[in-house]
Structure 1
Amino acid sequence: MITKDMVIGQVLKQHPETAEVFYALGMHCLGCPSSTMESVEGAAMTHGKNPDELVSELNKVIGQ
């Protein structure tokens, strides 16, 4: 299960299929250094997205 406090790099490493969700929301710097330090919640807020909705979409992709 993906949570808001998980780091983007961690999510991508465990669930590479989630990259499509990040790209669709305009988060195109998945390989940049910030992805190894920024939480899912922080990234959502930076990109003007609702963190809870992002987590929900990510969990749908991984089947949870």
Structure 2
Amino acid sequence: MDRIERGDQEPEVIRGQHDEQRRGDPVSPPLQQGADMITKEMTIGEIMRRYPQTVEVFARFGLECSDCQIADFEEIGHGAGVHKVEVEKLIADLNRAAGVQ
């Protein structure tokens, strides 16, 4: 959250799109059964925020994404390819852990 001071006016609070994430609040509610499934186009950070239980799945596949600085920008498909992980198996396990099969 940034403050902008303008002369004799009260400081204006500017909220960024990621303020909720910095406070630890969930970005969006978990998907319900039958809703959109996790796909290889989703970012790793987005999935870990929505479904904290997936952190364990990433670790099981050798992806220590919770400590990675680019998790918010890296899509699962790319991360899996870089680490030579079978992306379809990873996505299936992530969806199972998230309860969106």
Provide TM-score, normalisation by structure 2: 0.59
Residues 4-62 of structure 1 show CA distances to partners (whole Å, capped at 9, x for unaligned) of: 00000000010010000001111114232210110011111111111111111100111
Identify the structure with bigger relative contact order (alpha carbons < 8 Å, sequence gap 6+): 1
CA distance in 1, matches of 2:79, 2:66: 10
Structure 1 52/20 Cα, relative in aligned 2: closer, same or farther at 3 Å? same
**Residue 17 in 1 paired to residue 43 in 2?**
no
Q: Which has the higher strand share?
A: 2
Bigger radius of gyration among the two: 2
Kept after mapping to 1: 8 A contact 2:58/2:64: yes
**One-letter amino acid of the structure 1 residue matched with residue 71 of structure 2:** S
Flag structure 1 segments of 5+ consecutive residues without an equivalent. Answer: none
Provide TM-score, normalisation by structure 1: 0.90
Paired positions, count: 64
Q: RMSD of the alignment, in Å?
A: 1.0
Divergent runs of 4+, >4 A: none
Alignment equivalent of 2:74, drawn from 12, 35, 38? 38
**Residue 58 in 1 paired to residue 94 in 2?**
yes
Q: Which has the higher helix share?
A: 1
**One-letter amino acid of the structure 2 residue matched with residue 8 of structure 1:** I
